[in-house]
Amino acid sequence: MHNGIDLDVYFLIILYPVAGLFIIEMVCRAIKKIPNWTKLLTQAIMCIGFGIAYLTMHVAHWLTAGVLLALAIALLYQAKISKLDPQKALY
């Protein structure tokens, strides 16, 4: 079944959030003064943004958006743990 979006567009839809996470990670590693919880919070906000964008597209990508929103919840949880006690943070 063809819903109007080609296979290469699906790859880009997957690639954009991964690239965003990678870029945030590399910038935070390059600037060593940024706390871990700030990096995780920034990554969570980016995932929420992409998740909302994917839900509002012409052809909604529910599964991709759901995975990104679940990842955002996990990142927010890790950011909270990292801010409260950096020694307990797993990441």
What is the rounded CA–CA span in Å between residue 27 and residue 34?
Answer: 9
Other Cβ atoms within 10 Å of 2 Cβ, number? 5
- Output the pLDDT for position 12: 85
Residue numbers of the chain with a pLDDT score lower than 50? 1
What is the rounded CA–CA span in Å between residue 36 and residue 48?
Answer: 19
Query: CA angle 21-64-37, nearest 5°?
Result: 30
- Output the pLDDT for position 42: 96
User: Structure pTM?
Assistant: 0.85
- Residues 59-68 pLDDT 10s: 778 888 999 9
